[in-house]
Structure 1
Amino acid sequence: MKRFSGTLGVQQGTRILFSDFAHDGAMWTGSGPREVRRTETFSEPFLAPPAVMVSVSMWDIDNKANSRIDLSAENITAEGFEIVCRTWSDSRIARIRADWMAIGATQDDEAWDVI
């Protein structure tokens, strides 16, 4: 049986998901269900899909309606994932910045695989 000795790796990043106020985009001018997806690629792949946490680090939202934001990580693989931002009803989002952190198994360059 082949054995692996790995280590825990952490990667993080930040991304402005959209600035819809600048060009009258759907998150700013639309209504009803809306969604924006942005792909993030890890600088080094993990050995398996890692645990990914996404959080809002900046938001610019119209104060005339309720603030509705659903922010998540989807389609997580060892190579990357998608940040998904959803809103609905009459919420108007001018822009959002998201921070993310991924934690998972990585190759240990010091580990030896002896068969």
Structure 2
Amino acid sequence: MKRFPPGSIAIAQGSRVLFSDFADGGVMWTGEGDRESRHIVEFKEPFRLPPAVHVGITMWDTDHQTNARADLTAENITETGFHLVFKTWANTRVARIRADWMAIGQVPDEDDWEIE
């Protein structure tokens, strides 16, 4: 469980099409074996500490003749952003993926002051 001290809590969210490999013969559609698509997400405003980030697949289009294998994660989470990472493997053919994300965490408050 992630606990937040008293102060301002914020939620940031977004949606991103990670790739449309069927359109241009990309590796997720034509390749085999371990494959990865990595995207940097930057928050519009920084959090005070790295937030809790939740990711989910909101649209995916796969070949019906192969098994659908997917791993979607948030990696390298910082106060300013994270990496949105989709992985597949074996003979899975993925035409396209859209992922949504939500970050929840403490943000600086206008009443905060720092002593240097």
Report the TM-score, using the length of structure 2 for normalisation: 0.90
Name the SS for the 1:14 alignment partner.
strand
Name the SS for the 2:68 alignment partner.
coil
1:29-81 alpha-carbon deviations (Å, 9 max, x no partner): 00000000000000000011100000000000001010000000001000000
Q: What is the number of residues matched between the two proteins?
A: 111
Name the SS for the 2:48 alignment partner.
coil
Q: Which residue number in structure 1 is paired with residue 52 of structure 2?
A: 51
1:62-105 alpha-carbon deviations (Å, 9 max, x no partner): 01010000000001000000100000000000000000000011
Root-mean-square deviation over aligned CA pairs: 1.7
- The structural deviation recorded for 1:112 is 4.9
The amino acid across from 1:89 in the alignment is: A
Which 4+ runs in 1 deviate beyond 2 A?
111-115
The amino acid across from 1:66 in the alignment is: N
CA distance in 2 between counterparts of 1:112 and 1:24 reads 51
CA distance in 2 between counterparts of 1:114 and 1:82 reads 30
Structure 1 residues 56 and 112: CA distance shift in structure 2, 3 A: closer
Give ranges in structure 2 of 5+ residues lacking alignment. none
Structure 1 residues 114 and 64: CA distance shift in structure 2, 3 A: closer
Structure 1 residues 107 and 114: CA distance shift in structure 2, 3 A: closer
Tell me, yes or no, if structure 1 residue 27 matches structure 2 residue 39: no
1:3-45 alpha-carbon deviations (Å, 9 max, x no partner): x963111000000000000110000000000000000000000
Structure 1 residues 107 and 80: CA distance shift in structure 2, 3 A: same
Report the TM-score, using the length of structure 1 for normalisation: 0.91
